Structure 1
Amino acid sequence: MNKVFKKPSYLYRNGLTIVFLFLFVITLCAQALTGWRQHNRDLKEEHAPQLNIGTYLKSGHFISATFENFESEFLQMGMYVVLTIFLRQIGSAESKKLDEKEEVDREPFPHPDAPWAVRKGGWILKLYSNSLSICFSMLFFLSWGFHLYGSWKNHNVEQVFKHLPEDTVWSYLAEPEFWFETFQNWQSEFLSVASIVFLTIYLRQKGSSESKPVDAPDRQTGK
């Protein structure tokens, strides 16, 4: 007798995305509320008017803090996607194998279930073949621009409090403040990637797609 398999629920099929998006929304709201309270505390110390939450969400303080984190995450993922094409780490679950081609290296071919871009071919296929790194690059530069804008706005608010002239965005780019904010986020992302690349050589997590099988030898490269 043939078994009838029940189709997995929508939540089961999309659980990873849903959970992380839920956590993102919760933590973004928490950031906004705590940032709003902290910023109003700083304004109070300067004897400046307090901001309501709607005004705060458009302030340089919130925009800068939010997008400097987005920026570093998209840089991390974009570089990781590109560098794993060419670079290897022996024994890492995050690396391609050292001396053999993998499924991701094969040339795409059109078939009925292939994405539309593959069936279309030509420049559309070429673009689609690199769409992941292109998307992360665009998100990075967009986030970098918003980070600069927010940081510059917040800097000029502080300049007013200090009775100093406001800076143009170009002059602000020459200041160490913006680059300090930038590099303190970038270095943490590079460290986190190096950590997972290296630690998956020796450590395991049963059931995780980011780990090798528990009984795999340390020198096994890839999953």
Structure 2
Amino acid sequence: MAGMCHAIRRPARLRFADMKRIFHENGLSLVLASLFLLCLVLGQLFTGYRTSNEENVMHGKPEEPLGKYVMSAHFMEATFENWESEFLQMGVYVFLTAFLFQKGSAESKSPNEPEEVDRDPQMSGHRKDAPWPVRHGGWALKVYEHSLTLAFLLLFLLCFLGHALAGRGSCNEERLQHHLQALTTMEYMGSSRFWFESFQNWQSEFLAILSMVVLSIFLRQRGSPESKPVDAPHGETGG
């Protein structure tokens, strides 16, 4: 009987061990994804929903259900407007750090020494564990060499378009209330409102990157790959 109980309990222990291993190996992504969903759903969605309905009441309009608000221009514009700036930030950052340097920063390559990230991938085409584009070579490798920047660029463009479409809808709702003619997407994208919404987010993202690059010269966070070792001199470059 004891052996049977032991056999029954064993899979549960294995499942717990597997979950523990998965979290240990993927904890950073899991926590960040959880924080993203928490802020999006419990933060932006519900506070935005309440704000939108308060504005509806002020204008003598009926409150809208949550399901309708999720697809509204008010929610979609705010979402895409912020995602757009984040993907722009990361794409520009990845691209610029490939060839620009900042002496002493943990976020920069060394300006005077070659680094592993610069090695020629064609020398590893024979490795069985190398990604498929590396083993294939040619155009696939050329694209793969810049795939991270290209992915962020594509995500930025999609969110930029989403911002334009949702923003036009939100703008036209306001114009309708004031008995003004609706704008086309191109007209809205040429307006100062659209570019104000974009640049107010873009500048904050570039400020955040600049702060990370410069502050990591002098300040430390023990254990973080985004920081230099605590005992590293300020002039040492790279993490």
* TM-aligned CA deviation for residue 40 of structure 1: 0.9
Measured in 2, the distance between the counterparts of 1:213 and 1:52 equals 52
Distance in 2 between residues matched to 1:49 and 1:170, nearest whole Å:
31
Once residues 158 and 63 of structure 2 are traced to their aligned partners in structure 1, the CA distance between those partners, rounded to angstroms, is 30
Among 173, 184, 191, which residue is 1:157 paired with? 173
Alignment of 1:60-209 (within 5 A): 60-108=73-121, 109-110=124-125, 111-209=127-225
1:3 matched to which residue of 2?
none
Cα distance in 1 for residues equivalent to 2:190 and 2:115: 45
Pair member with larger Rg: 2
Q: CA deviation at 1:171?
A: 1.5
C-alpha separation between the residues in 2 aligned to 1:121 and 1:86? 23
What SS does the corresponding residue of 2:98 show, helix, strand or coil? helix
Distance 2:70 2:170 in 1: 12
> What one-letter code is carried by the residue in structure 2 that aligns with 1:18?
L
Of residues 12, 23, 29, the one that matches 1:11 is: 23
Distance 1:140 1:193 in 2: 17
Say yes or no: does 1:23 pair with 2:35: yes
Q: Give secondary structure in 1 for the equivalent of 2:114.
A: coil
Q: Partners of 1:63 and 1:151 in 2: how far apart? A: 8
The C-alpha deviation readout for 1:83-132, integer Å capped at 9, x for no partner, is: 00111001000000011110010111120111111111111111111110
Give the alignment's Cα RMSD to 1 decimal: 1.2
CA distance in 2: counterparts of 1:83 and 1:174, whole angstroms: 28
Q: More helix per residue: 1 or 2?
A: 2
Superposed structure 1 runs of 4+ greater than 6 Å apart: none
C-alpha displacement of 1:49: 2.5
Q: Which has the higher contact order (CA 8 A, sep 6+)?
A: 1
Q: How many residues are paired up?
A: 218
- Please give the alpha-carbon distance, in whole angstroms, between the structure 1 residues aligned to 2:163 and 2:188: 12
User: Which residue in 1 is equivalent to 2:72?
Assistant: 59
Look up the equivalent residue of 2:24 and give its one-letter code.
Y
Quote how far apart the aligned CAs of 1:167 are: 1.2
What CA distance in whole angstroms lies between the structure 2 residues aligned with 1:172 and 1:122?
42
List alignment gaps of at least 5 residues for structure 1: 1-5
SS state at 2:82 partner: helix
Q: Normalized against structure 2, the TM-score is what?
A: 0.89
Partner of 2:55: 42
Q: What TM-score, normalized to structure 1?
A: 0.95
Using the TM superposition, give the Cα deviation of residue 159 of structure 1 relative to its aligned residue in structure 2, in angstroms.
0.8
Question: Cα deviation per residue 1:33-82 (whole Å; 9 max; x = unaligned)?
Answer: 11011001101111122211111111111011001110000000000000
Q: Which residue pairs with 2:8 in the alignment?
A: none
